[in-house]
Amino acid sequence: MKVVIIGGVAGGASAAARLRRLNEQAEIILLERGNYISYANCGLPYYVGGEITDKADLTLQTPESFYARFRVDVRVNQEVVSVDPKVQTVTIKNLKHGTVHEESYDKLILSPGAEPVRPPIPGADDNRIFTLRNIPDTFKIREYIEEKRPKTAVVVGGGYIGMEMAENLTRAGLKVTVVEMMDHVVGPLDYDMACDIHHYVKTKGLELRLKEQVKAFRSEEDGLKVELSGGELAADMVLLSVGVRPDTKLAKAAGLQLSEKGAIQVDTQMRTSDKNIYAVGDAVEITDFVTGQPGYVPLAGPANRQGRIAADNICGLNSSYKGTQGSAVLKIFDMTAAATGLNERAAKAAGLDYDKVFLYSASHATYYPGASNMSLKVLFEKGSGRILGAQIVGFDGVDKRCDVLATAIRANLTAADLTELELCYAPPFSSAKDPVNMAGFVIENLMTGKIKQHHWHDVAQLPRDGSVTLLDVRTVPEYERGHIEGAVNIPLHLLRDHLYELDKKKPIYVNCQSGLRSYVACRILSQNGFDCSNLAGGWRQYHAVTSDQAFDCTPNHPCGLPIK
């Protein structure tokens, strides 16, 4: 059996290694148009910023090391210019010598990846405007910084790569502005979860220009002028990071079936519309694990699994890809943001009957030094309680909780299941009731009618004509530092003694700082005959969103609530 693989990195290289482990006799040829077959593309921004200092650390495998271990015939600087499915051949151009030859195959795996979107903006061909896809791009950016010593940079696009590059350009000594056409950075998050990031990165010196579009780049002697829909910026260099699109020119020319967005359509075995051609990685259309609908989610983890699954099926094993849920994590300076499953936009687009809860939980026992709070948002399906998605922003322990919730989604667990998870506990690592357990408890309380809730976006519509009561149960100093307009203050520890001041004929909308004390208040009120609703996420969430800044979300002073 002869297998030809077009493209290395995550999907192609993992497919090649798996093929060899399953079949020692197969002839395996891996073709890569660049110089590198397996490199840490997710680590590229950190070489720019100096966190990774050795170029060699970015290269996971060389052609020589791959051949030594797996006996795979790796050919770099070899670009496949066409595929002929009828006669099962590929036409290859040697980019060093310009020669062209054909190679036959029994099975073909396409792993061309994705390419950065370079929008048709006037002036975008300036050599001070960069994109980041591969190792040569990284070296080019680093060399430019070292040789030209730029002082300012504009990053166009506030997604994962854009924010990672903004951090690392800042670490390299540049003053950085991020331009994002959406109302928030890190698109997989909802706006209300991105607000903490907005505030935090500003404290690190980043400037954000949200809801702005780049209209043109203008070259001048002293640098670049970036013309925006709402003004103009000066920059010594620009990074375009406005997303990627599947690199499917070969597949299209070969007549393979593509999605409306241009991704290669595959079945669960990673087979294309041609039975002898498989496709994996950032070039393929995926099925969303939660909704079952088609989508496009370019991530390294799914690409690796898809490469393995394609190899399994070529070798006769019955292996299938069960969908992508988009689990991802971002380091932005010392902050961590993570997401898995659906956000609200996706849940609405899928027509799901869902609700959401907000929590503000400590990373570990608060009496043990170094605890910091994290913001959690968990989406669940009404009726069943099935977990649909989660977003977490904070510092220590964010990735761990998001991984647990990602596993819960994959296992189709419900809120009730979250309450029963037995997770590791010791004071330096967690609390006896882990934040994941707490999310289950909050959802379960809603589903069983122990509490009603309203959200930050409902507050503005609450009547201020005296027909309802807005009640703030924080301490007097907390209330005086800021509160919802029209809210009266009765601290929780005094509430039972002041119930007579409240009118049972009026619905009561209660808030505290995070939603915990107000939950306790609602339990007191409801058992005393009051109609009560709790503000999910509390004043902290409301204020963070409505002012687009939290109080102080650094680990030592997490949003005004010092942890001892």
- Secondary structure of 347-394 in the HEC alphabet? HHHCCCCEEEEEEEEECCCCCCCCCCEEEEEEEEECCCCEEEEEEEEE
- Two structure tokens written together for 423: 């997770």
For range 71-97, the mean pLDDT? 95
**What was the pLDDT predicted at 118?**
87
Q: When comparing pLDDT for 56 and 497, which is higher?
A: 497
**What was the pLDDT predicted at 290?**
97
pLDDT interval class at 54 (50, 70, 90): confident
For range 201-206, the mean pLDDT? 95
Statement: residue 533 has pLDDT above 70: yes
For range 265-285, the mean pLDDT? 97
Q: Please tell me the distance from the alpha carbon of residue 326 to that of residue 343, in angstroms, as a whole number.
A: 10
**315 is annotated as an active-site residue:** no
**What was the pLDDT predicted at 560?**
35
Is residue 331 a contact partner of residue 366, using CB atoms and an 8 Å limit? no
Q: Which residues of 313-350 are buried (b: 16+ CB within 10 A; e: fewer)?
A: bbbeeebebebbbbbbbbbbbebbbbbbbbbbebbeee
Residue 41 half-sphere exposure toward CB, CA atoms < 13 A? 23
Statement: residue 335 has pLDDT above 70: yes
- Two structure tokens written together for 549: 């800044």
| 74 burial level (CB within 10 Å; 0-12, 13-18, 19+) | buried
**What was the pLDDT predicted at 48?**
86
- The strand ranges marked E within 111-174 are 114-116, 129-130, 152-156
CA nearest neighbour of 299 among 269, 326, 272: 326
Statement: residue 223 has pLDDT above 80: yes
Kindly report whether the global pTM for this prediction surpasses the value 0.95. no
pLDDT interval class at 550 (50, 70, 90): very low
Q: Please tell me the distance from the alpha carbon of residue 308 to that of residue 14, in angstroms, as a whole number.
A: 6
Statement: residue 562 has pLDDT above 50: no
Is residue 469 a contact partner of residue 452, using CB atoms and an 8 Å limit? no
Is residue 387 a contact partner of residue 379, using CB atoms and an 8 Å limit? yes
Is residue 352 a contact partner of residue 388, using CB atoms and an 8 Å limit? yes
For range 88-115, the mean pLDDT? 96
Residues 6+ apart with CB under 8 A from 109: 3, 4, 5, 6, 11, 12, 15, 277, 278, 279, 280, 307, 310, 311, 314
For range 100-129, the mean pLDDT? 94
For range 54-65, the mean pLDDT? 80
Q: Which residues of 372-381 are buried (b: 16+ CB within 10 A; e: fewer)?
A: bbbbbbbbbb
Among 46-55, 150-159, 206-215, where is mean pLDDT lowest?
46-55
**What was the pLDDT predicted at 55?**
76
Statement: residue 481 has pLDDT above 50: yes
Element housing 10 (H / E): helix 9-22
Indicate the average pLDDT of the chain: 93
**What was the pLDDT predicted at 390?**
98
459: left (phi over 0), alpha (psi -120 to 50) or beta: alpha
Q: Please tell me the distance from the alpha carbon of residue 321 to that of residue 305, in angstroms, as a whole number.
A: 8
Among 209-223, 408-422, 501-515, where is mean pLDDT lowest?
209-223
**What was the pLDDT predicted at 337?**
98
pLDDT interval class at 549 (50, 70, 90): very low
Residue 236 half-sphere exposure toward CB, CA atoms < 13 A? 15
Q: When comparing pLDDT for 8 and 89, which is higher?
A: 89
CA nearest neighbour of 379 among 345, 411, 407: 345
For range 158-165, the mean pLDDT? 95
Tens-digit pLDDT profile for residues 388-414: 999 999 999 999 999 999 999 999 999
- Match 């301490």 to its residue by tokens: 475
pLDDT interval class at 35 (50, 70, 90): confident
CA nearest neighbour of 560 among 89, 199, 157: 199
Among 48-52, 238-242, 446-450, where is mean pLDDT lowest?
48-52
Q: Please tell me the distance from the alpha carbon of residue 24 to that of residue 149, in angstroms, as a whole number.
A: 51
For range 174-180, the mean pLDDT? 97
pLDDT interval class at 548 (50, 70, 90): low
Q: Please tell me the distance from the alpha carbon of residue 57 to that of residue 455, in angstroms, as a whole number.
A: 46
Statement: residue 102 has pLDDT above 90: yes
DSSP 8-state class, residue 230: T
Q: Can you tell me whether residue 434 is helix, strand or coil?
A: coil
Catalytic member of 42, 424, 512, 553: 42
**What was the pLDDT predicted at 47?**
82
Rg (CA), the chain: 27
